[in-house]
Structure 1
Amino acid sequence: MVRVHLLQVSLNLSDLEMESYLASDMVARSFCRVSSTHQFISDSTILRFRHFIEQQGWRKNYSSAR
């Protein structure tokens, strides 16, 4: 999920756009280590992960490092 989040931030995609991007782009799935044989990551899963890292303060640390 960290790779999904980093790719989403770098491409400036919404959660729904990121879900579609992973579903349609094999290179993105490979980078994020998402198997094409399993169910794709949903936009709600991406949202929950983003909220989790914000609660932990990781997003703030990532943003300040850029």
Structure 2
Amino acid sequence: MQKNVINYLKMLHWVGLSMLLCGVGLYFFTELTQQVTGMMIVASLAGLGMVMMSPFPIALFLQWAQAQNQDQ
């Protein structure tokens, strides 16, 4: 069960990273950010990407802490 959750969070992490990189790429390499809709697209991609990436490191830390607790 726990392994499935980690795999799901890992998949979300990679999807979030790709969304963040897509937003950064649009920001630096297009003129899309000169319009309000473009600003909304770039901000949404970057923001949602970062939100999707955030649970995975926390889950890894909790898994590590639980393993440390079991070793003692």
Normalised to the residue count of structure 2, the TM-score between the two structures is 0.27
Larger Rg: 2
Task: State TM-score, norm by structure 1.
Answer: 0.28
More helix by share: 2
Return the structure number with greater relative CO, CA threshold 8 A, min gap 6.
2
